[in-house]
Structure 1
Amino acid sequence: MGRKALVIGGGIGGLAAAIGLHRTGWEVTVLERSPALEDAGAGISLAANGVRALDALGVGPAVRAAARPQYTGGTRTPAGLWLARMDGAALERALGTPVCGIPRAELHRVLREALPTGCLRIGTGTVASAAEWDADLLVAADGVRSGVRAELFPEHPGPVYSGSTVLRAVTAGPVPLDSDFELTWGPGAEFGHIAFADGRAEWHAVLTAPPGLRHPDPLAALGSRFAGWHRPVPELLAATRPEDVLHHDVHELVTPPPSYAVGRVALLGDAAHAMTPNLGQGACQALEDAVVLAAELAAGPTPERALARYNAVRRPRAGAVAKAARRAGRLGHRLSHPLAVSARDTALRLAPSGAAVAMILRHAAWTPPPLT
């Protein structure tokens, strides 16, 4: 069969898919419509399934070298009381790898460096079909508003606003922190941080808000919104340059596409299953997609049959994670009524010590197929 692949989208999923295809003998071209590689996004936590996918792609050691393992932290109230502790060492014992926190720019760099020179082409605009590039396979990793998905399924309703908007940034310099990773849940809001290997930190603020809401001075607005919250929330905001704050509304695919593959065209990552960030699984599921796609194509005998198997494997798994992420959001920052918040906090405090580990294992205990 033909061995030329075209990947649309130079994000985490698209680059990972290109690596998997390249390692299994495909000639790959990655098209990114942005005129510059801005590496949008502040930081990311990679659960064990994401790290295992990176290992399968051959870039796991390089990612670990640039990441900081997450062993300490958990979930707190705005006053600083612990609702649940994260036992990163227990997760590592169970899964063989720790959760890793890494700047997105570093993850993108590692992925790009694993590809042949000239494979990635930026500023390419839109692409209608693989035939334009004489390709035997088209991988659509073009995000939540995927143009390829819209062409394949014109009746699909597309993404919907989740009800949440997120502001995030990486601090300008190192910040003293007592934990590797934290989430704090207050009425209608969440604040969290990820510590990086160089001492800097990524923070994010998730707010229940109407779509399109923007602030002339985001840091001032957040300072007011999170006034009185426990440290290091004020310290993280104070250590941030205003121009570094990113603000995005969260959209998701509540209605899954009818299939993740049609003929020789595959949907991957957010193009197939854009989900809310409440489980930290969006990028991990895209990495799983990339490994399974490459493995099925390597197994042959034709792209059409391989992509049919890819759809059969990935659609149930990613769909279940997306639903779980949506449920987690409803029990997290989306709660605003004082009685509901109090009931949730009480339930978390009374939960067995291993409950948080068990919940993470439910989604992170994934073993990648071999790439041959």
Structure 2
Amino acid sequence: MHEAVSTAPGRHAVVIGGGIGGLATAAGLHRLGWRVTVLERATRPREAGAGISLLTNAQRALDRLGFGAQVRARSVSMAPGGEGLRAPSGRRLQHPADPRFLSRHGLSLIVLLRPDLHGLLRAALPPGALRTGADAVGVEDLPDGAVVRYGSAHGEERVRGDVVIAADGLNSRFRHLLWPSAARPVYSGHSVWRGIAGGGVGAIAEPGGGTWGRGLEFGRMPLPGHRVYWFAVANTPEGARFPDGHAEVRRRFGSWHRPIPELIAATPPGDVLHHEVFELAEPLPGYVSGRVALLGDAAHAMTSDLGQGACQALEDAVVLCAALATEPAVPAALARYERERRPRTQGIAAASRRMGRTKMTERCWDLACRSVMMRLRSPRAAEEGMLYLGDWRPPRLPGPVPA
């Protein structure tokens, strides 16, 4: 049961975008007593998608927002990195994380279906708060608020809010409106296929892990119901299309070590998704303009190489909610949000880009250097990287955490 805490009587937040970051922010502000309106361009809620993994930092953000227990109930928990890292032959490249280190810092990874997370966040909104088929096209900043213009089945409409949160994704229209000279997202050089292997494969009980090849990567994680979420990454030309994604994954990865071929075979061919990976390679000069704040991919779109895109959006959500709940005025709250979020998110985006270059290299010299580096790298270095990402502490929100 999610009940609003009356800390902001009469205040109204307009959220542009019904993805994970936008829904989490709207649900958090609703809990704090704000009236919320979510404008989602799509005409239907998002039901498609494969799996999603959430490191401890994102789990703590969900705990603060009141969703942690519900999300965990639909998830499988695993050690970050699973059984470690291997070469396509199965040769070990990196050992699993030390269980004592993980336990000492409370670090874990949970994996669930992306539509399940979307559904939980949508269900936390009050009736009528989510407006689908609402294409936000512009915003007018006022001294005491902002007005968002959006197109709907009824023509152009307007909605006024005390704050506007633009969580409209990688190709954010509002990022371009507010910072027209800022660099656009760029192609990372690689694309990813995602799928879910069904039950009935003996190897599906394995603990997950990763495999790096020459310009190729395959990762696997357990899901509830004896299923496995997997992703396969390859360097591909921008705009390349693959009519049969399942066949393409089998061609590139079907000869790799077990259980990779079994997982591919246990995946319905029509359910394999393919997406190119884009990022904001040049950091934005700001996340806030007037009463408008960018959030999630709109602010800091990053590659998937550290698995932190959704995690950072959830961090954004709880930090923004806390700032709006505790600062005396919206401009001060937005200034605090930007001050707290820009350094961390832009640092993680840069780290994710570096990791992608290391993982996806194809040059023989780089591959040899990578192999030597991984053999010589101390466990402490890997642990420090894991702590940097996962051991983040969210701010507290006023009032009791919803049950």
**Which TM bucket (shorter chain)?**
over 0.9
Partner of 2:266: 239
Selected match of 2:310 from 266, 269, 283:
283
Counterpart check, 1:11 vs 2:53: no
Counterpart check, 1:343 vs 2:372: no
Cα contact 1:88–1:99 (8 A) shared by 2 = no
Partner of 2:71: 63
Partner of 1:221: 248
Partner of 1:207: 234
Shift, 1:201, TM fit: 1.2
Per-residue CA deviations over 1:321-371 (Å, capped at 9, x if unaligned) read: 000000111111x21123321321232133334443332112111100011
The separation in 2 between residues aligned to 1:91 and 1:54, in whole angstroms, is 23
Structure 1 letter corresponding to 2:94 = A
Cα contact 1:41–1:104 (8 A) shared by 2 = yes
Worse-matched range after superposition: 238-247 or 137-146? 238-247
Cα contact 2:246–2:270 (8 A) shared by 1 = no
The separation in 1 between residues aligned to 2:199 and 2:46, in whole angstroms, is 20
Secondary structure of residue in 1 paired with 2:305: helix
Selected match of 2:132 from 122, 126, 133:
122
For the structure 1 residues 50 and 223, does the alpha-carbon distance in structure 2 shift closer, same or farther, using more than 3 Å as the test?
Answer: same
Gaps of 5+ in 1: none
The separation in 2 between residues aligned to 1:331 and 1:292, in whole angstroms, is 31
Per-residue CA deviations over 1:1-24 (Å, capped at 9, x if unaligned) read: 861011111111011111221122
Partner of 2:224: 197
Shift, 1:25, TM fit: 1.6
Partner of 1:108: 118
Cα contact 2:51–2:111 (8 A) shared by 1 = yes
The separation in 2 between residues aligned to 1:192 and 1:55, in whole angstroms, is 27
Counterpart check, 1:159 vs 2:167: no
Shift, 1:92, TM fit: 4.1
The separation in 1 between residues aligned to 2:318 and 2:133, in whole angstroms, is 26
Selected match of 1:230 from 236, 244, 257:
257
Cα contact 2:204–2:263 (8 A) shared by 1 = no
Counterpart check, 1:330 vs 2:343: no
Cα contact 2:60–2:393 (8 A) shared by 1 = yes
Shift, 1:97, TM fit: 4.9
Partner of 1:371: 397
The separation in 1 between residues aligned to 2:75 and 2:179, in whole angstroms, is 38
Partner of 2:4: none
Structure 2 letter corresponding to 1:73 = E
The separation in 1 between residues aligned to 2:204 and 2:172, in whole angstroms, is 38
Cα contact 1:20–1:57 (8 A) shared by 2 = yes
Shift, 1:118, TM fit: 2.4
Per-residue CA deviations over 1:257-276 (Å, capped at 9, x if unaligned) read: 22111111010000000000
Cα contact 2:111–2:222 (8 A) shared by 1 = yes
Aligned-residue identity in percent: 49
Secondary structure of residue in 1 paired with 2:348: helix
Structure 1 letter corresponding to 2:343 = P
Cα contact 2:191–2:236 (8 A) shared by 1 = yes
For the structure 1 residues 144 and 123, does the alpha-carbon distance in structure 2 shift closer, same or farther, using more than 3 Å as the test?
Answer: same
The separation in 2 between residues aligned to 1:243 and 1:154, in whole angstroms, is 39
Shift, 1:35, TM fit: 1.4
Partner of 2:83: 73
Worse-matched range after superposition: 88-97 or 280-289? 88-97
The separation in 1 between residues aligned to 2:370 and 2:183, in whole angstroms, is 33
Counterpart check, 1:38 vs 2:46: yes
The separation in 1 between residues aligned to 2:341 and 2:29, in whole angstroms, is 17
The separation in 2 between residues aligned to 1:88 and 1:9, in whole angstroms, is 39
Per-residue CA deviations over 1:120-170 (Å, capped at 9, x if unaligned) read: 222212342251212111101100100111110111121111111111112
TM-score with structure 1 setting the length: 0.95
The separation in 1 between residues aligned to 2:104 and 2:166, in whole angstroms, is 34
The separation in 2 between residues aligned to 1:86 and 1:69, in whole angstroms, is 15
TM-score with structure 2 setting the length: 0.88
Secondary structure of residue in 2 paired with 1:69: strand
Structure 2 letter corresponding to 1:264 = R
Gaps of 5+ in 2: 1-7, 140-145, 148-157, 399-403
Alignment coverage as a number of residue pairs: 371
Cα contact 1:89–1:98 (8 A) shared by 2 = no
Shift, 1:91, TM fit: 5.3
For the structure 1 residues 40 and 86, does the alpha-carbon distance in structure 2 shift closer, same or farther, using more than 3 Å as the test?
Answer: farther
Secondary structure of residue in 2 paired with 1:277: coil
